[in-house]
Amino acid sequence: MPHLDPLATSGEYEWLLEEWDYLTIEDVRADGKSLVVTGREDRRDRDEQAAAISVDGSSEFIDEADSFGYVRYLKDENIVMYTSYDDGATTYQHKIGSRTQPTVVYEDSAVKHAGWDANGQPVAFIPGRDINQWMEQEAYYQAAEEEAAEEPAAEEAWD
C-alpha cells in the first residue's frame, strides 16, 4: 500500500479527485494512510467542500461551506476538526466513517475567523498566511466569474 508523504504538494495527489478544479491537502494522518482535502468542484463554484481520502482511493464527503480553516486530524486519527466560515465561525468535528453529521464544538457568529490553539481552546483569527491565502482565492474566483461572464458574449460575437 502506498504511503502519503505529509510534505508533498497537492499536485501529486490531484488524481484522487480529478473532478475538482481546486484542491488543497489540509492534513495527513500520522500513519500516512489518509488525508483531508478541501476544494471546489468547479472554478465557478463559490462553495468549498471538504473530504477525507484514503490511500486506496476511496473518499468520504465531510462538509460544504463558503470556506474552511484549521482543518486537521485530532490525536484520535479518525476524527477531523475544522472551522467553517459562512456567517461567522463554527468549528466542527467529524468522525470518519461514522455516516453522521459533523458535531458543532464551538460557534461564534461575531468572530469572522476563529480556530483552535494547541490545547484545543478557541482563539481569534491572527492575520498572516491564512488571510493572504483567502484573499488570493477570492481574487481567483472573481477572475473566474468575470471570465465565465465573457464566454457567452465571445461565442455570440463569433456567430
What amino acid is encoded at 159 in this protein?
A: D
- Mean pLDDT on 127-151: 65
Q: pLDDT, tens digit, for every residue of 27-71?
A: 888 888 888 888 887 767 778 888 888 877 678 888 888 888 888
Residues β-bridged to residue 103: 93
Q: What is the pLDDT of residue 127?
A: 42
Are 114 and 82 a contacting pair, CB within 8 Å?
A: no
Query: What pLDDT is stored for residue 113 in this prediction?
Result: 44
In the predicted model, what is the mean pLDDT of residues 13-35? 74
pTM: 0.57
User: Per-residue pLDDT tens for 67-77?
Assistant: 888 888 887 77
Dihedral sign for Cα atoms in the order 32, 38, 39, 41? positive
More confident residue, 76 or 23: 23
Note the pLDDT of residue 134.
55
Q: Which three cell numbers stand for residue 7?
A: 510534505
- Please measure the distance between the N-terminal and C-terminal CA atoms of the chain and give it in whole angstroms: 53
Task: Give the dihedral of Cα atoms 77, 6, 61, 22; nearest 10 deg.
Answer: 160
What pLDDT sits at residue 5?
Answer: 52
> Phi and psi at residue 145, in whole multiples of 5°?
-65, -40
Query: What gap in Å lies between CA 10 and CA 24, rounded to an integer?
Result: 6
Q: Which residue has the higher pLDDT, 36 or 134?
A: 36
